[in-house]
Amino acid sequence: FLGGKIHIGMQSHGGGRAGDPASNTLAKRLRDMPFRVDRLKTGTPPRIDARSIDFSKLEKQPGDTPLPVMSFLGDVSQHPQQVLCHIAKTNTQTHDIVREGLQRSPLYTGVIEGVGPRYCPAIEDKIHRFADKNSHQVFIEPEGLQTNEIYPNGISTSLPFDIQYRFVRTLQGFENAQITRPGYAIEYDFFDPRDLKPTLETRFINGLFFCGQINGTTGYEEAGAQGLLAGANASLQVSGAKPFTLRRDQSYIGVMVDDLVTLGTSEPYRMFTSRAEYRLTLREDNADLRLTESGREIGLVDDERWRAFSEKREAIERERALMKKHFVQPDSHAARTLAKKIDKPLSREYSMADLIVRPELCISDVYTACDLPCPRADIAEQLEISARYSGYIDRQQEEIERLRESETTPLPADFDYARVNGLSNEVRDKLEQARPDTLGRAARVPGVTPAAISLLLVYLKKTGQLKPARTA
């Protein structure tokens, strides 16, 4: 944590995560640069010794079945051992103790100035803001397979240790709970991500890339995704290759980075599907189809992954072609089999592709009725989704293509906004400060109007600066 400061009750000290020092020298060095800087806050719950919890009083929460895998190359056999999580609940006694302690809370006495994450508030915040609620869920998560520590997700706090000890023991099953590490809040520096290029390289120091918490995000996935993009671009820059960026319609990384470098953030930023306007096509199941080719071009995809991807893509196209040309006649055995599923006979011939669209049928029903081997699960899933949602997906793709030209129209790095007649001083100042690299990003700068974008487009055409739209 840059300039990290830990708070437990009214006591505070410099630090990063518990047991780690704060990164003060680097924070000071960066503060001496032209970067805009501010403070944010996050927190963590007390850790509990699992041996002191009565799990028989808690609600079990098993993992997903079938077990998901995190890689398109992986399978369930590689999955680590699964252990149960549980759910506990706070109660009125818990809330009373927390309220008693608010006068000793750094959150409520003005000691902490940094803004905390909106979507995972501290327990004292929950109880204060949602005073009508008598209970909140607490997810009881093992810290790992080789430890007895429990992470009680939902009671992040910076209250004094004695208050933490008392309120934890009010939870059912936690009557004898032993805290191994107290919860705490931590304030830290972040640097305005609007001072970054879309590659995550800083605008002030060539070759310096920022990623993760320093950019105002919160969460491991958000940090890891930025690290992937920043690391790729650092490598590409060293080798003299062109930079790599991702569009909003290509990936959630593209959405997140565009939000950060265009709009900035005044609170810890977390990625949600709701932030993406094209989430119908930004799905978990098609991430490989969207991004593997781009990854291969910049050297991030090895031969094994590329071979697996190519085989999958070819299989999808092969099966899609089969489904379009294979027809089921109304008087056939296949039609009679399917009629039992849809509760009425087929009135005419249908292609397999047409039949899969029917909500009563799944892809395995159609393949089995046609006496054909069903594709493997991931390929079947792609075929089913693309068939059933084709109308919506096609409409969204048309919208993406329609907007792509203006979205990716480059703005020169040294573009002089003062020369564009008709721009208000306010818009001119905002564009000078934001320095968007495309017309699309300029349109998302707060305060920049559609009329201003039209003026920029006219000026680019008139001066011959309108270059072909770039592609990722």
CA 386 – CA 370 distance, rounded (Å): 20
49: left (phi over 0), alpha (psi -120 to 50) or beta: beta
**Which fold does the domain 5-190 belong to in CATH?**
Elongation Factor Tu (Ef-tu); domain 3 (2.40.30)
Residue 88: name the closest of 8, 147, 171 by CA. 171
Secondary structure class of 309 (helix, strand, coil):
helix
Residue 459: name the closest of 408, 405, 410, 421 by CA. 421
Q: Where are the alpha helices (DSSP H) in 32-122?
A: 92-100
What is the reported pTM? 0.85
CB contact burial 345-365 (16+ within 10 A = b; e otherwise): ebeeebbbbbbbebeebebeb
- Assigned architecture for domain 304-388: Orthogonal Bundle (1.10)
- Domain coordinates of the chain in residue numbers? 5-190, 192-279, 304-388, 404-462
pLDDT in tens, the chain (472 residues): 999 999 999 999 999 877 889 999 999 999 999 999 999 999 999 999 999 999 999 999 998 888 888 888 878 888 888 899 999 999 999 999 999 999 999 988 888 888 888 888 999 999 988 999 999 999 999 999 999 999 999 999 999 999 999 999 999 999 999 999 999 999 999 999 999 999 999 999 999 999 999 999 998 999 999 999 999 999 999 999 999 999 989 999 999 999 899 888 889 999 998 888 888 999 999 999 999 999 999 999 999 999 999 999 999 999 999 999 999 999 999 999 999 999 899 999 999 999 999 999 999 999 999 999 999 999 999 999 999 999 999 998 888 887 777 777 888 888 999 999 988 888 898 898 888 888 888 888 887 877 788 889 888 888 887 765 554 4
**Which fold does the domain 404-462 belong to in CATH?**
DNA polymerase; domain 1 (1.10.150)
CA angle 366, 69, 362 (to 5 degrees): 10
Q: What is the pLDDT of residue 133?
A: 94
| Whether 438 contacts 471, CB under 8 Å | no
CA 424 – CA 453 distance, rounded (Å): 12
Secondary structure class of 345 (helix, strand, coil):
coil
Residues written for the chain: 472
